[in-house]
């Protein structure tokens, strides 16, 4: 099947007109901390010197009904605007809440975590296949296996300590006392290793993979209804308060949950009328599409991805980074699936060169914290590079225009 022709970026009517008001609908990753945390994060990063110039001021967070939060972001040029393209921009940042769903899937009991861990390992080996994941991205496979490897290593270390100490010739303690002391030391060491794993985000990873497994099996209660609420909210906001540009942005697992919403939005006649020939902008950061797309039960998800990849009225930029161990770096969303050869030209993939955007000491600290590396997309870098989230979401250039300008560099 030959994909339909896609309009060149420069053919859209939108880039010819300046942006003065924008709306960003943001889908967070699998993070129970919700809108308050992300408002603080974006506010703090906006206060940093912007490598692309200009300054950012973030307003107070406001609740919109039960499911949404908003705040304003004002971009100002560093000096009086030399042209109309560099004038001030106001962006409404809308947080598309689903942290209530996340918290329902955030298991805290050890036995529940263990059951989820076992279910994920079985599904990865039986339903997906380790070779398929390795063929797409070896680092992603290693990340998926890391919780298992850590657990096995913890059990081995604890067992070795118990066995070694039990064999020591400490007659003063007696056999029973020696075994008790050895067991206590072994368990304490195992507990310390488990705590270190938790600090490194391994339990978070386990929860993420189990949630994705539930998505693939259609076992996320309320998700379909939430997608409908998201679509309605996007349409209602643009109908009630039209802006020059709407950007749909997602990070990590947020890139998965937003797929059905964007697919339904693009097919809605009301949205098509509101856009009036303008393309819809979609930005995905640190995606892990194959984690879900490779699951046998995720047929609806795969077909939604296929439609998005071929949609002529969508501008979709997918940004990943080699340092991020939790993304599928530079991997097509449908890679490894039966629909891979039918996929269209979208998304346009970009490898963020974060190593060029940070001072050496700062970069050395980032490399030691792989969990932080997964959030680099949401940070203000030290120096200009080939990706700047805050310039893209809040600056004076249209989303589509920025893609054209970056490609020409």
Give per-residue pLDDT as tens, 83-98. Answer: 656 789 999 999 999 9
Kindly write down the DSSP assignment for every residue of 309-336, as one continuous string: HT-TTEEEEEEE-TT-TTS-TT--TTTT
Report residue 80's pLDDT band, with 50, 70 and 90 as the boundaries: low
According to the per-residue pLDDT averaged within each range, which of 179-188, 197-206, 222-231 is highest?
222-231
Would you state the pLDDT for residue 12? 47
Would you state the pLDDT for residue 7? 58
* Percentage above 70 pLDDT, the chain: 91
Report residue 14's pLDDT band, with 50, 70 and 90 as the boundaries: very low
How many Cβ atoms are within 10 Å of 21's Cβ, its own excluded? 13
Would you state the pLDDT for residue 9? 58
Give the chain's mean pLDDT. Answer: 89
User: 57 forms bridges with which residues in the sheet?
Assistant: 74
Cα separation, 186 vs 161, in Å, equals 5
In sequence order, the 6+-apart residues with CB closer than 8 A to the CB of 25 are: 94, 96, 230, 233, 234, 246, 247, 248, 249
According to the per-residue pLDDT averaged within each range, which of 45-54, 109-118, 193-202 is highest?
45-54
In sequence order, the 6+-apart residues with CB closer than 8 A to the CB of 188 are: none
pLDDT at residue 15 above 50?
no
How many Cβ atoms are within 10 Å of 5's Cβ, its own excluded? 10
Angle between helices 202-216 and 138-166 (to 10 degrees): 130
Mean pLDDT, residues 287-304 taken together:
96
Cα separation values, 181 from 122, 164, 184, 375, 406, Å? 36, 12, 5, 43, 63
> In 3-state terms, what secondary structure has residue 346?
coil
Mean pLDDT, residues 334-344 taken together:
96
Would you state the pLDDT for residue 43? 97
Give pTM, 2 decimals.
0.89
Cα separation, 332 vs 288, in Å, equals 10
Which has more pLDDT, 368 or 240? 240
Which has more pLDDT, 121 or 345? 345
Report residue 171's pLDDT band, with 50, 70 and 90 as the boundaries: low
pLDDT in tens, 296-332: 999 999 999 999 999 999 999 999 999 999 999 999 9
Residue in the structure block whose two tokens are 């950061």? 285
pLDDT in tens, 134-167: 888 888 888 888 888 888 888 888 788 788 877 7
Would you state the pLDDT for residue 216? 96
Tell me: cis bond preceding 347? Omega within 30 of 0 counts: yes
Report residue 187's pLDDT band, with 50, 70 and 90 as the boundaries: confident
Task: Answer whether 105's CB lies under 8 Å from 210's CB.
Answer: yes
Task: Give, for 134, the enclosing helix (H) or strand (E).
Answer: helix 130-136
CA atoms lying within 13 Å on the CB side of residue 292: 30
Would you state the pLDDT for residue 81? 57
Cα separation, 391 vs 380, in Å, equals 9
Would you state the pLDDT for residue 13? 43
Report residue 407's pLDDT band, with 50, 70 and 90 as the boundaries: low
Task: Give, for 162, the enclosing helix (H) or strand (E).
Answer: helix 138-166
Would you state the pLDDT for residue 85? 64
Cα separation, 319 vs 284, in Å, equals 6
Which has more pLDDT, 209 or 173? 209
């Amino acid at each position: 099947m030959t994909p339909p022709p896609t309009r060149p970026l420069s053919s859209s009517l939108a880039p010819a007109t300046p942006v003065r008001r924008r709306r960003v609908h943001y889908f967070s990753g699998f993070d129970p901390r919700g809108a308050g945390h992300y408002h603080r994060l974006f506010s703090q990063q906006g206060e940093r010197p912007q490598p692309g110039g200009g300054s950012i001021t973030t307003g107070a967070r406001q609740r919109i009904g039960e499911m949404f939060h908003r705040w304003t972001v004002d971009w100002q040029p560093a000096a009086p605007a030399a042209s109309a393209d560099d004038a001030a921009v106001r962006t409404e940042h809308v947080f598309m809440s689903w942290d209530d769903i996340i918290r329902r899937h955030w298991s805290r009991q050890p036995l529940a975590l263990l059951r989820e861990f076992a279910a994920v390992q079985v599904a990865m080996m039986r339903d997906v296949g380790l070779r398929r994941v390795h063929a797409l991205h070896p680092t992603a496979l290693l990340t998926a296996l890391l919780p298992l490897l850590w657990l096995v290593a913890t059990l081995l270390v604890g067992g070795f300590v118990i066995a070694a100490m039990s064999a020591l010739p400490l007659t003063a303690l007696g056999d029973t006392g020696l075994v008790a002391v050895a067991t206590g030391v072994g368990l304490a060491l195992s507990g310390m290793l488990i705590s270190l794993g938790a600090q490194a985000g391994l339990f978070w990873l386990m929860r993420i993979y189990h949630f994705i497994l539930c998505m693939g099996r259609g076992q996320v209660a309320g998700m379909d209804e939430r997608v409908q609420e998201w679509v309605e909210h996007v349409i209602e906001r643009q109908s009630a308060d039209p802006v020059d540009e709407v950007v749909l942005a997602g990070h990590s697992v947020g890139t998965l949950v937003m797929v059905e919403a964007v697919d339904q939005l693009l097919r809605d006649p009301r949205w098509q009328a509101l856009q009036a020939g303008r393309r819809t902008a979609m930005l995905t950061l640190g995606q892990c599409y194959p984690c879900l797309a490779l699951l046998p039960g995720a047929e609806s998800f795969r077909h939604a991805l296929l439609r998005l990849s071929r949609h002529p009225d969508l501008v979709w930029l997918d940004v990943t980074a080699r340092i991020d161990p939790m993304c599928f770096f530079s991997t097509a969303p449908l890679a490894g699936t039966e629909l891979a050869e039918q996929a269209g030209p979208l998304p346009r993939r970009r490898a963020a060169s974060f190593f060029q955007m940070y001072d050496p000491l700062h970069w050395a600290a980032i490399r030691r914290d792989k969990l932080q590396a997964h959030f680099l997309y949401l940070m203000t870098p030290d120096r200009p590079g080939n990706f700047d989230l805050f310039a893209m979401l809040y600056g004076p250039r249209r989303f589509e225009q920025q893609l054209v300008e970056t490609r020409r560099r």
